[in-house]
Amino acid sequence: MARVKRGTTSKARHKRVLVRAKGYFGRRKNTIRIAKQAVERAEQYRYRDRRRRKRDFRRLWIQRLNATVRQQGMRYAQFICALSMLKIRLNRKVLSELAVEEPKRFQELVEQAANAWKEKSAEKNTPQDPKEDLKARTADSSS
C-alpha cells in the first residue's frame, strides 16, 4: 500500500486561513497560529455585529422619527400609538425614509396621527384637576 502524505491538505487549510488574514498587521497575516486566532476573532465580531447592525439601524430610525415628530408638536410614542389606532402599518425604516425624503407627505401623516390622538384623549374625558377627579371617584363609591 502506498504511503499517504498529508502535506497538501494542511497546506490548503493553512492557505485558506492566510487568505482570510490578508491585510492584517504584523505576524497576524503570515504566521499560521496567530493568523488562525485573528481570523477566528474576526469571525466572532462579524457574527456579533451582523445582529448589532439591525439594532443600531432601528435606533437610528427611531431617533430620526422622534426628532421630526417633535418638531410638529408630538412625541414618538404618541405618534406610533396613533398610527396603530389608524391601522397604518408602516415600519420604522419606511417612516424614517419618508420623513427624510418626502417631508410634506410625512407631515400629512403626522397631522392624521395628531387628530387621532386628540380624539383618543377626548374619549377618555379625564379631568385636568386632580381634586375634581377625586370628587368624582368618591361620589361614585358613596352611591
Domain boundaries along the sequence of the chain: 75-142
pTM more than 0.85: no
Query: What pLDDT is stored for residue 137 in this prediction?
Result: 66
CB 30 within 8 A of CB 18: yes
- How far is CA 19 from each of CA 25, 44, 99, rounded to the nearest angstrom? 14, 17, 44
pLDDT at 123: 78
Convert the pLDDT of each residue in 74-128 to its tens digit.
999 999 999 999 998 999 999 999 999 999 999 999 999 999 988 888 877 655 5
Q: Which pLDDT value is given to residue 131?
A: 60
100 vs 40: CA distance, rounded Å: 39
Provide the pLDDT for residue 119.
87
Cell numbers for 38? 485573528
